[in-house]
Amino acid sequence: MLRNKCFRLLLLLLPAFSWAQQTTEYPNDYLSPEFHAGRRTAFREMMPNNSVGVFFASQVRVRNNDVDYQYAQSKNFYYFTGLEEPNALLLLFKQPVTILGATGTEFIFVQNRDPQRELWTGKILGAEGVKNKYKIANVFTNDKFTANTFDFNTVDSVLTAFRGEDIFSKYKRSPDPLSRMAGIVDSLIILHNKPIAARTTNVILTSLRGIKQPEEIALLEKAAKMSCEGHNDVIRAIKPGMTEYQAQAIMEYHFKKNGSEYPGYPSINGSSENACVLHYITNLRLMKDGDLLLSDCAAEYHGYTADVTRTIPVNGKFTPEQKIIYELVLEAQDSGIAACKPGNPYNGVDAAARRVINRGLIKLGIAANEQEARQYFPHGTSHHLGLDVHDMGATGPRPLQEGMFLTVEPGIYIPPGSKCDKKWWSIGVRIEDDILITKDGNRNLSASSPRTVAEIEKMAKQKSIFDK
């Protein structure tokens, strides 16, 4: 009986749902093989002579007993290959070498087909599948990789980041092909006394991943759009008596409905004093009339994540004090976004936003000086976005360039017990948008979610698909 009632309710709701229109059996808007090949070529062009780049897939991690965490590929490995399977190794050489009878500069070792395993976890591509799907010429199964696969004496340096990627973690299963290959590489590096060019590796990866290509920007636009749809419906749906985790559920429903594989990071939904905890992810509190809700949530799409924050009144109307703090943060964000221009220093974005907040907090009597103001705005204004939510890219005084993609997210957080008038306590406000640096300025990819007090209060009066 209950099942029939739920089914009838679902039928009533369906017309209100705006499902994403997918016209093919599976999504077909992944990064192309040509994109990944181009990134490998770009990396090789920046490698020193007589060097090898070594990139491993991510480890499979044990969650508990016989259950693994959902697999997530190493972002560098994905950037260069597109492959989302474990137990794989990519070798990139500056000059052509011969390995297992094949000559070239690119070699990948992947897991073999296993019908019994595929029965439980899905299809494994195998060597031929990887070669056909990703257009990589020299593909071998990972059992072919041994200490004698190629002569380490032919290279002068190794470009890799694998020692910092926790491949040898205890949270893995045994036997483990990835650890076996990593152990071989590690032993050969030590045996032949080959230097690991860690700094060079990081410089090259930062240079490449910090400038987004058109295919990457298209995926980031989709991730930002999904994120904004979630934020907008939370603005419409939220009301006193709901919980933080219900806000999270509404948000992440919209991500998944539109094809997002995962949230880009653990969703932050903090109300009242919880909004003053920068990375609050417990999301258990019952929200009350007069609270603010800070929602820092975004979708990941085909490996690329947005990062969007909105702060909204739970009852749909800002109090006078909330409005003052909110509009100060918004002014700071507008100043930060205005500084997002090619040629301007990366850290100039933070400086522009911080000036506004410092001046405003001192004027309001919340802080006596800039040092005190910093305790209410304790984080940076920006970080790069892309394959990682805190992505690789130029920082400090280095200039912004066309194709960079970064957040602008100033905030003010006044927890209970702060050394200011109690009327400001438990106000936590962050506004975060995703800014693409363009040839002449910037473009806000998350602009479809309202930022001003008037726009938010107007949207709060609209109906959510969950109101029924």
Angle between helices 347-364 and 320-338 (to 10 degrees): 150
Mind giving me the DSSP string for 309-325? Answer: EEEEETTS---HHHHHH
Q: Which of 300, 307, 388, 391 is catalytic?
A: 307
Active-site residue, 279 included: yes
Return all residues near 138 (Cβ < 8 A) that are at least 6 apart. Answer: 99, 102, 104, 106, 107, 108
Active-site residue, 430 included: yes
Q: Which of 45, 66, 199, 440 is catalytic?
A: 66
Q: Which of 61, 113, 163, 379 is catalytic?
A: 379
Active-site residue, 379 included: yes
Scan for tokens 């009327």, then name that residue. Answer: 423
Contact, 178 vs 145, CB < 8 A?
A: no
- Amino acid occupying residue 220: L
Q: Which of 44, 383, 384, 451 is catalytic?
A: 383
Active-site residue, 79 included: no
Q: Which of 300, 350, 409, 433 is catalytic?
A: 409
Active-site residue, 390 included: yes
Q: Which of 304, 326, 376, 413 is catalytic?
A: 413
Q: Say how far residue 143 (Cα) sits from the centre of its chain.
A: 33
Active-site residue, 66 included: yes
Q: Which of 106, 432, 433, 434 is catalytic?
A: 432
Mind giving me the DSSP string for 287-313? Answer: P-TT-EEEEEE-EEETTEE--EEEEEE
Q: Which of 390, 398, 421, 467 is catalytic?
A: 390
Active-site residue, 199 included: no
Active-site residue, 36 included: no
Q: Say how far residue 18 (Cα) sits from the centre of its chain.
A: 25
Q: Which of 229, 244, 296, 391 is catalytic?
A: 296
Helix (H) or strand (E) holding 158: strand 157-160
- Amino acid occupying residue 157: S
Residues marked as catalytic: 66, 279, 296, 307, 379, 383, 390, 409, 413, 430, 432
